[in-house]
Structure 1
């Protein structure tokens, strides 16, 4: 027996208490020292966040103030003479005497009528775009026909055309169709399809596995069945994202509804807020009431984005990498 073998046999093993546990070693992560650049980036993000949220806070602060007291305390960061009177005026819950006592301008706003009109118009545009744009996007992505890529390229060029250039032709068309001051007239120009929506959905339809579609063809499925049974179920998330984005954009639209929807019975919230601002039968504008109405009008889209914002961002990012 060699000397080395004797030494190895006589060597006593290291006590378990002195051996470091593997879980402890694996669980330890090296601490990253915060660099100056990282700290500066976080500070910049917080500053941008505060700048973004400040208008919403100021709307809330103004809406909770007494309109008579606002002029004397323009720089006060907190509600001036706290009251819910502005919300009562906007929702039609305050009498004329109560409204005038808190500095209301005497202007009236039929909030529920305008809210209904906004919901109708936004729903028409959203449903129309989802239906027609999904069919067009499927045709560009999965069907083979002469000139497909050329037509798609021309369609994408429409993204570079300013909306103002198409306003007059669209207005003349809506007027000739007799659709002025109607919900359909407000929704029609963007109800059928838009280049962005087609491009957005096409990127997801391109990602569908060809083998799945070929198996459906062997089973005798036509274009319509493949579209409804395969393409739509596999792209449910991006279609929902498109619907949310379209609804938000339609809800916030101002210029086109102002041009073709001047009648009060079809007036949407964005236009109604502008009219409410300009009505001052008893003096100055009712800034508290205007901010209360604006905040209530913005709540639906704010809630939508807070609940589904991550899905929207992920879907847009995925479409850009295809």
Structure 2
């Protein structure tokens, strides 16, 4: 048996502490979502659900009547969760596909093609990583307004659909480490740059591309500030904004915390499923890219 040392004990204690701190907010969300609002006010520090009920999920999904919501301490505020969920999926999927696709093309151009000024242009591109996002909000908003794309998916997607400095840098570093033999053989057989890109380089870069797609999808799903600036219509409003509107439109003095936590849990489920399914692939892809 391996000898137990004080350092090992401290390491495990630290890991357990980090795990508890990380998981506790999710547990508290579930506990609040399964509680009755009236009962929560009487025992807010209870470690388990207070007045266990699934009414909060019924209110979040729009399945509860006003009388049922009032009986459980819910507010008359409503949220079209399914519509907001659909908008978030459309917004995240379209932006992820566009951003990753064009970033992959740019990374191929910076890593596998030879053209004058390539390194200088790439240095300028990297400088975009040092520009805070808040400095680009106003110019992008003015552009979207002048184009007449407010309250549309195009207005939310356009500013970041064609460019991501981090994605280009990430993919370029991986592509620089790819072997040249297959690419050179294809060029000898008459393959052009586009064929080399789509038939050889991109298939060999599936792992980092999948990693970037997952990270981009998560960031887009959680985006709040930019959709807040360019949308005020329920037809395109994503889930993050719908939850904020639900919180602010409660007509009662006490907020419907159970309903809000239930809606938040439903909104977080797609991200949890993605991590469960692709978590190991994400870690392996980042490690493999770092070795390259």
TM-score by length of 2: 0.97
Aligned equivalents of 2:73 and 2:258: distance in 1? 9
* Cα deviation digits, residues 89-124 of structure 1 (max 9, x gap): 011111111011101111000001101110110011
| Structure 1 partner of 2:208 | 238
Aligned equivalents of 2:105 and 2:227: distance in 1? 27
Aligned equivalents of 2:8 and 2:131: distance in 1? 40
CA-CA distance at 1:199 after TM superposition:
0.9
Q: Is the 8 A contact 1:111 1:269 kept in 2?
A: yes
| Structure 1 partner of 2:142 | 172
Greater radius of gyration (CA): 1
Aligned equivalents of 2:116 and 2:288: distance in 1? 28
Q: Is the 8 A contact 1:100 1:106 kept in 2?
A: yes
After superposition, residues 128-147 of structure 1 pair within 5 angstroms as: 128-147=98-117
Q: 1:112 aligns with which of 73, 82, 90?
A: 82
Aligned equivalents of 2:164 and 2:287: distance in 1? 19
The answer to whether the aligner puts 1:98 opposite 2:88 as a matched pair is no
SS in 1 for 2:63: coil
| Structure 2 partner of 1:301 | 271
| Structure 1 partner of 2:40 | 70
Q: 2:253 aligns with which of 271, 280, 283?
A: 283
The answer to whether the aligner puts 1:54 opposite 2:12 as a matched pair is no
SS in 1 for 2:116: coil
Q: 2:194 aligns with which of 216, 224, 237?
A: 224
CA-CA distance at 1:318 after TM superposition:
3.1
Equivalenced residues, count: 292
Between 78-87 and 239-248, the greater mean CA deviation after superposition: 239-248
| Structure 2 partner of 1:194 | 164
Segments of 5+ residues of structure 2 without an aligned counterpart are: none
CA-CA distance at 1:307 after TM superposition:
1.7
Segments of 5+ residues of structure 1 without an aligned counterpart are: 1-30
SS in 1 for 2:235: helix
Aligned equivalents of 2:105 and 2:186: distance in 1? 18
Aligned equivalents of 2:68 and 2:2: distance in 1? 60
CA-CA distance at 1:316 after TM superposition:
2.1
CA-CA distance at 1:314 after TM superposition:
2.4
Q: What value does the CA root-mean-square deviation take over the aligned residues?
A: 1.1
Q: Is the 8 A contact 1:279 1:285 kept in 2?
A: no
* Cα deviation digits, residues 127-167 of structure 1 (max 9, x gap): 10121011000000000111111111121121111110111
Please list every run of at least 4 consecutive aligned residues from structure 1 whose deviation after the TM superposition is greater than 4 angstroms: none
| Structure 2 partner of 1:269 | 239
| Structure 1 partner of 2:151 | 181
SS in 2 for 1:48: helix
